[in-house]
């Protein structure tokens, strides 16, 4: 990974499973596609990356993207956020991810919710 870049992960390309003694199937590794952006928001690469399930839960976060346009408010006068979709990103890149979605949706505020 390059300096000052961040990745947004997409769909699962491959999963590796293992059947346990009791007959239950357990996923132990996944391959995710990603798009890599620089700090200015320009696309600098695409690819895929493998994650063990331990590493997946430790390094990545799945969140719902909610944006506020800077104007719309509800009847109580509170900001009215609109749902825009789901994203997967590295936990350490949360600020870069919020800035990315501010640019993409021309939003005044972005919240990444579980």
Give the angle subtended at the CA of 88 by the CAs of 35 and 85, to the nearest 5°.
Answer: 100
In this prediction, residue 4 carries a pLDDT of 85
Calculate what percentage of the chain has a pLDDT beyond 90: 92
What are the tens digits of pLDDT across the range 44-73? Answer: 999 999 999 999 999 999 999 999 999 999
What are the tens digits of pLDDT across the range 86-110? Answer: 999 999 999 999 999 999 999 999 9
Q: How confident is the model at residue 84 (pLDDT cuts 50, 70, 90)?
A: very high
Q: Is the pLDDT of residue 2 over 70?
A: no
Decide if 88 contacts 60 (C-beta within 8 A).
yes
**Strand, helix or coil for residue 69:** coil
The structure's pTM equals 0.87
């Amino acid at each position: 990974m390059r300096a000052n870049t961040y990745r947004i992960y997409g769909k699962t390309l491959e999963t590796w499973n293992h059947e346990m003694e009791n007959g239950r199937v357990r996923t132990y590794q996944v391959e995710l596609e990603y798009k890599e952006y620089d700090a200015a928001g320009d696309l600098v690469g695409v690819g895929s990356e493998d994650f063990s399930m331990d590493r997946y839960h430790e390094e990545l976060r799945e969140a719902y993207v909610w944006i506020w346009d800077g104007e719309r408010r509800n009847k109580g006068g509170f900001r009215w956020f609109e749902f825009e979709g789901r994203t997967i990103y590295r936990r350490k890149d949360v600020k870069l991810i919020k800035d990315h979605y501010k640019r993409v949706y021309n939003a005044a505020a972005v919240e990444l919710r579980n």
